[in-house]
Copies of this chain bind each other. A is one copy, B any other.
Amino acid sequence: MEKVIRVGLLGSGTVGSGVVQVLEMNREQITERVGAPIQLKTVLVRDLAKKRPQLAGYQLTDNYEDILNDEEIDIVVELMGGLHPAREYMLQAMEHGKSVVTANKDVVAQFGKDMFAAAEKHGVDFMFEASVGGGIPIITPLKQCLTANKVTEIMGIVNGTTNYMLTKMTDEGCDYDAVLKEAQEKGYAEANPSADVDGLDAARKAAILSSLAFNTRVELKDVSVEGITKITPDDIDYAKSLGYVVKLLAVGKDSPEHGVDVRVHPVFLPKEHPLAAVNGVFNAIFVRGNAIGEAMFYGQGAGSLPTASAVVSDIIDVSRDIVNKAFGRIGCTCYEQKPMCPIEETESSYYVRLLVDDKPGVLGQIATAFGDAEVSLKSVIQTKRNVVDHAEIVAVTHIVRHASIQKALDALKQLSVVDEIRNVIRVEKERG
């Protein structure tokens, strides 16, 4: 008799419903591609009493044991989100010989190592394409298609909420609060927007991507994080006039001199950069490797069907392993323990915007303060635009150590002519 691959689904929210829909609408093609039918057998839900028309015809349960102890179920698909009990459920599934597919960036970022170890120990697969970039294939490309490369750099727009907000601020000149309100009304941002706007969601994805790209274990605590809450229309205007756009990037770099440097923060990105044209709720991940040069992966970073595309493709991949008895073909690739680069030693070019007294000699004092900290300036402009009784100075530095820019900022704060350090944003260098 032909093998049927049976799936237990944990969670029936936005992505879970998308998975059910994709499995139904593309059923015939999926069966052909796997060489066996995939059957969604049981769905774990919180409340059995709640009406779920999209799950009519499927077996529902509110007890995970029903899935765990069902020997027919080959694959557990975890879409509950959050650390607990998602982590424990996945570990138990693997202990019971079931492969796991998840979209859970929290668990992968924090407990990825344990998950890989469990998969290896129990001879099953652990797949997580949907944990970064929604539908965009990036985990498989890093594990497989780009694996001939030493990856030296990744840069990703991996949070749709903040990219929508920054795009809106750029296109329409609105300020942060107005844009956040609109994003919340449209359902793009949550009532408590912190995970998005403070960069924590992006930081988890940065940790996952960097671990895979650099063969090492990068955890959330290793990522330095800065959100977009301080970005103003003025910053976006200056960026435009200097030839840049403002984006929130997840950045990972690996070099023999500095070690692994992973961070999330807003940047000024040259408007010719492929990531600069990634707008609205779209995501993209840019990768630099020592063979391929530059590559970029673009698509929708969230949403029911796009994320389900990644989840179901993982289910198909695991199913092919089941049909071909080929588990663990590609295991954990984090076999090195590379040193992390301390933030003080990271290097970047910076945009610095200062509110200063509007009188002669100010520019000289400021340039001297930068110079004394060994920060050389690429450009500096002084303007009275949008300010009364004061002036603004906008400086762009050459590439300098983080410690040096901090030293310069400390010195600037001491100057009586400097009324406020309005913003400091990293500038991504021109490509080449």
Instruction: Point out residues on A near B: beta carbons under 8 Å.
Output: 18, 22, 25-26, 29-30, 32-33, 129, 135-137, 140-141, 144-150, 215, 274, 277, 289-300, 303, 305-306, 308-313, 315-317, 320-321, 324-326, 328-330, 333, 335
Check A306 against B324 for contact (C-beta < 8 Å).
Answer: no
Cβ-defined contact, B317 with A328, below 8 A: no
- Give the residues in chain B near A330, CB-CB below 8 Å: 320
Please, how many angstroms separate the alpha-carbon atoms of A215 and B29 in the complex? 9
In the A-B complex, list the 10 residue pairs whose CB atoms are closest, starting with the nearest.
A326-B326, A137-B145, A148-B312, A295-B299, A291-B309, A292-B309, A296-B298, A135-B292, A148-B313, A291-B305
A150 surroundings in chain B (CB, below 8 A): 25-26, 29
Q: What is the total number of copies of this protein in its complex?
A: 2
Return the chain B residue nearest A18 by Cβ: B291
Asked if A145 meets B140 with Cβ closer than 8 Å, knowing A291-B305, A305-B293, the reply is: yes
Chain B residues within 8 Å of A274, by CB: 277, 298
CA distance A325 to B29 in the complex (A): 26
Contact B26 A148 (CB under 8 A): yes
B335 and A329 form a contact (CB under 8 A): no
Given A137-B295, A140-B141, 13 more A-B residue pairs with CB atoms under 8 Å apart are A26-B291, A33-B147, A144-B317, A148-B309, A148-B311, A148-B312, A292-B309, A292-B310, A293-B303, A294-B300, A295-B298, A295-B300, A296-B296
In the bound complex, residues from chain B placing their C-beta under 8 Å from that of A146 are: 137, 309, 313
A292:B306 contact, CB within 8 angstroms: yes
Question: Do A135 and B320 form a contact, CB below 8 Å, given A29-B215, A148-B312, A313-B145?
Answer: no
Query: With A and B bound together, what is the CA distance between A321 and B326 in angstroms?
Result: 8
Contact A324 B329 (CB under 8 A): yes
CB-nearest residue of chain B relative to A137?
B145
Distance in angstroms from A88 CB to nearest chain B CB is 27
Given the contacts A26-B290, A274-B277, A298-B295, A145 and B32 also touching, CB distance less than 8 Å: no
Q: Which residues of B contact A141 (CB under 8 A)?
A: 137, 140-141, 145
Q: Which residues of the other chain, B, contact A335 by a CB distance below 8 angstroms?
A: 32
* Known contacts A141-B141, A333-B33; is-contact A291 B320 (Cβ 8 Å): no
Cβ-defined contact, B215 with A32, below 8 A: yes
> In whole angstroms, what is the CA distance A171 to B57 when docked?
58
Enumerate chain B residues within 8 angstroms of A137, measured Cβ to Cβ. Answer: 137, 141, 145-146, 295
Q: How near does chain B come to A147, taking the closest CB pair, in angstroms?
A: 5
The interface residues of chain B lying within 8 Å CB-to-CB of A30 are 147-148
- CB pairs A–B below 8 angstroms (8 shown): A144-B144, A148-B309, A291-B306, A292-B309, A292-B310, A293-B306, A297-B298, A324-B328
C-alpha spacing A333/B31, complex, angstroms: 11
What separation, in Å, do the CA atoms of A335 and B310 have in the docked complex? 23
A150 to B33, CA, bound (A): 12
Q: Who on chain B is nearest to A135 by CB?
A: B292
In the bound assembly, the distance between CA atoms of A271 and B396 in angstroms comes to: 30
A135 near B295 with CB under 8 A, answer yes
State in angstroms the CA–CA spacing of A316 and B310 once bound together: 23
Q: Given the complex of chains A and B, what is the CA–CA distance between A313 and B148 in angstroms? A: 5
